[in-house]
């Protein structure tokens, strides 16, 4: 457990000792702020629903920037040799890094709560719906982070890691749109089940379905397991 | 402490380490010599557990690297060829991370950091970010992380690379002191370093272990390649003929000494018999004027080149 904690702390410190965390959080907040202003003040509708939907799309761009360095930088900086020869198990390295990236996601999410101040001051939003939307956002983010982290482990080039992660996340986001083109019932069901946006939409509507929660957790677990297996295989 | 049993590593059809076996005992520093691409770093990485051997077994203090990796890793301090440093961290934060990852108890971390910072002379830079450090300091931070957490075994891949002469001396002293009570495997290109601090030398080339012995043992084994050097005033051809007629002399190179008319510099390749110098002196001093005669013991450099040369010839023969 101490090894996991050591990797986690190193990751969080590394994020804040480089411009990445500041840049990512700033870009995300600027984007979220813009969408919030547009959705609430231009339309006069006092909910977070549209803004959360936009935050989900922003996440597809922001997550690869957070995850691209996780393993790629270890390879290119030749520090992977240190990590793999310390008395750490591969899963401790993978989970420590993942929790570090998740901390950035949580900080980013927390910072968007500033948008809720005018919403509660001048409107009458539904707290439970907002809470459900935020739970969905964090779960979606965690699944995206796990996928991005896995692709970062496959290459020592951070840009390549990001460039692979973006289209994969876009596929998971838009795959639900392919349902209408499918005659097969099974394929329609599969595309719907794999769709990040459809599961996330339930949360935004205020539905915390165990199926959707499990979906995001299982996607995260699969990506992290593949990541751990890859590290073991590399030995 | 460190035991390699028939360790091999293959990448596809290419075998980079062939059936290497040796051991390093407690209180012993073993120098690991070989030209670039000889398989030194691959062997070090297998001992450290970064890569697994295709066949064979590596044990550290009796713990099998393949099945008890984590317990074995706790006993190893490893400085890879390129010091594994996080540029964005400061020295103290970096060492603290390594100490925690090595499982150093929280109450002992501060004293551990102080010990390695003092040993590696890092006091002046302990708060500096690593990307700002010179190459010498980076190397010493790499060595400091290897010393954290009371390792029983030290694996050092070129630990003095990039250091200035003063730092090299200090680093050798750190290694020498550590080697008195622990097992140290030291990979280096600097042959002089090996003779200074290593009890035994392992020579590797083409992924094969060619020799392992003490520097003196290797010298004895190589004495058939001894040279006797002469400076003599004599005509070249009769001198060469006279020398080759002496029993035990099997090669003669004669070169004129520039600016000294009729004086020759002669290198005789002789075998290991005692008294060969006296026989040469008797044979030539009656006929010509002998100015200097010296028997040269093989240096570690010559021994290394001889073994590595054999390795190259062996490979050519195999092809």
pLDDT digits (tens, 9 = 90+) for B298-319: 666 667 776 766 554 455 555 5
Q: What whole-number distance in Å separates Cα of residue A64 and Cα of residue A157?
A: 13
Between B304 and A202, name the one with better pLDDT. Answer: A202
Q: What is the pLDDT of residues B218-230, one digit of tens each?
A: 766 665 557 788 8
Facing residue for B52 by CB, picked from A6, A89, A235? A235
Q: Delimit the domains of chain A by residue range.
A: 2-234
Q: Tell me which of B41, B89, B101, B144 to substitute to probe the interface with A (most A C-beta atoms closer than 10 Å).
A: B101
Please state the rounded mean pLDDT for residues B166-190: 86
Residue B314, pLDDT score: 52
- In angstroms, how far is CA B43 from the centroid of its own chain? 14
Any chain B CB within 8 A of the CB of A19? no
pLDDT band for position A80 (50/70/90)? Answer: very high
Which residues, at least 6 apart from A50, have a Cβ–Cβ distance to it below 8 Å? A35, A39, A43
Residues forming beta bridges with residue B200, ordered by sequence position: B30
User: What does the pLDDT average to over A2-8?
Assistant: 93
> What's the mean pLDDT in B186-199?
83
C-beta separation of B76 from B153 below 8 A: yes
Chain B segment 29-48 residues within 8 A of A by beta carbon are 45, 48
* Chain B contact present for A233, CB below 8 A: no
- Least Cα separation, residue A102 to chain B (angstroms): 20
Question: Which of A15, A82, A97 best probes binding to B when mutated, by most B CB atoms within 10 angstroms?
Answer: A82
* Position B8 confidence tier, pLDDT thresholds 50, 70, 90: very high
* Minimum distance, in Å, between the CA of residue A22 and any CA atom of chain B: 14
pLDDT of residue A75: 95
pLDDT in tens, B71-130: 999 999 999 989 999 999 999 999 999 999 999 999 999 999 999 999 888 999 989 999
Reported as a single tens digit per residue, the pLDDT across A147-178 is: 999 999 999 999 999 999 999 999 999 888 77
pLDDT digits (tens, 9 = 90+) for A105-150: 999 999 998 888 888 888 788 889 999 999 999 999 999 999 999 9
Identify the pLDDT of residue B195: 81
For chain B, which domains are there? Answer: 2-221 (3.40.50.300), 223-296 (3.30.70.260)
Of B70, B84, B103, the CB nearest to A82: B84
Q: Tell me the whole-structure pTM to 2 decimals.
A: 0.82
- Phi, then psi, of A67 in degrees rounded to 5: -90, -20
Going edge to edge, which strands form the sheet with B263-270? B249-256, B263-270, B227-233, B289-296
How does pLDDT run across B274-285, given as a tens digit for each residue? Answer: 778 888 888 888
Provide ipTM, 2 decimals: 0.88
Inspect the interface and report whether the beta carbons of A6 and B97 lie closer than 8 Å.
Answer: yes
pLDDT surpasses 90 at B154:
yes
pLDDT at B49 over 90: yes
- Minimum mean pLDDT range among B133-142, B157-166, B175-184: B157-166
Interface membership of B100 toward A (CB under 8 Å): yes
Give the SS3 label for residue A43: coil
């Amino acid at each position: 457990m101490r090894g996991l904690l050591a990797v986690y702390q190193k990751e969080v410190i590394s994020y804040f000792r480089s411009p990445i965390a500041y840049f990512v959080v700033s870009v995300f907040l600027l984007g979220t702020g813009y969408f919030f202003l547009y959705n609430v003040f231009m339309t006069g509708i006092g909910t977070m629903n549209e803004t959360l939907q936009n935050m989900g799309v922003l996440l597809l761009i922001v997550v690869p920037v957070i995850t691209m360095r996780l393993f790629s930088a270890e390879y290119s900086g030749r520090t992977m040799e240190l990590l793999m020869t310390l008395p750490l198990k591969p899963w401790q390295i993978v989970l420590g890094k993942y929790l570090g990236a998740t901390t950035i996601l949580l900080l980013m999410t927390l910072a968007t709560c500033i948008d809720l101040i005018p919403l509660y001051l001048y409107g009458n939003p539904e707290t439970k719906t907002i809470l459900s939307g935020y739970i969905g956002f964090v779960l979606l983010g965690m699944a995206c982070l796990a996928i991005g982290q896995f692709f970062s482990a496959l290459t020592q080039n951070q840009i390549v890691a990001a460039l692979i992660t973006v289209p994969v996340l876009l596929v998971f986001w838009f795959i639900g749109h392919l349902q209408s083109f499918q005659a097969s019932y099974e394929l329609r069901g599969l595309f719907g089940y794999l769709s990040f946006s459809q599961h996330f939409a339930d949360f935004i509507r205020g539905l915390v379905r165990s199926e959707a929660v499990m979906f995001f957790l299982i996607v995260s677990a699969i990506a992290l397991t593949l990541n751990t297996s890859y590290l073991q295989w590399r030995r | 402490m460190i035991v390699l049993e028939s360790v091999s590593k293959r990448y596809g059809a290419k075998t980079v380490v062939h059936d290497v076996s040796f051991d390093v005992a407690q209180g012993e520093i073993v120098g690991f010599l070989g030209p670039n691409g000889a398989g030194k770093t691959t062997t070090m990485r297998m001992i450290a557990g970064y890569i697994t051997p295709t066949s064979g077994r590596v044990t550290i203090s009796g713990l099998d690297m393949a099945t008890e990796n984590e317990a074995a890793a706790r006993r190893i301090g490893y400085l890879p060829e390129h010091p594994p440093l996080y540029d964005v961290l400061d020295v103290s934060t970096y060492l603290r991370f390594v100490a925690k990852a090595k499982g150093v108890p929280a109450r002992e971390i501060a004293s551990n950091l102080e010990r390695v910072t003092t040993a590696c002379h890092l006091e002046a830079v302990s708060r500096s970010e690593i990307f700002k450090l010179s190459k010498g300091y980076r190397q010493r931070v790499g060595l400091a992380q290897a010393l954290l957490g009371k390792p029983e075994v030290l694996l050092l891949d070129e630990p003095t690379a990039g250091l200035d002469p003063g730092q090299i001396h200090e680093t050798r002293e750190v290694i020498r002191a550590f080697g008195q009570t622990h097992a140290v495997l030291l990979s280096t290109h600097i042959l002089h370093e090996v003779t200074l601090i290593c009890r035994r030398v392992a020579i590797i080339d083409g992924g094969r272990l060619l020799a392992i012995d003490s520097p003196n043992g290797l010298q004895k084994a190589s004495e058939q390649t001894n040279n006797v050097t002469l400076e003599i005033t004599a005509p070249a051809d009769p001198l060469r003929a006279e020398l080759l007629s002496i029993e035990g002399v099997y090669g003669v190179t004669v070169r004129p000494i520039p600016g000294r008319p009729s004086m020759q510099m002669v290198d005789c390749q002789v075998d290991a018999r005692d008294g060969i110098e006296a026989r040469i002196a008797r044979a030539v001093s009656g006929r010509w004027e002998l100015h200097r005669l010296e028997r040269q013991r093989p240096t570690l450099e010559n021994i290394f080149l001889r073994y590595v040369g054999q390795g190259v010839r062996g490979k050519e023969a195999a092809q």
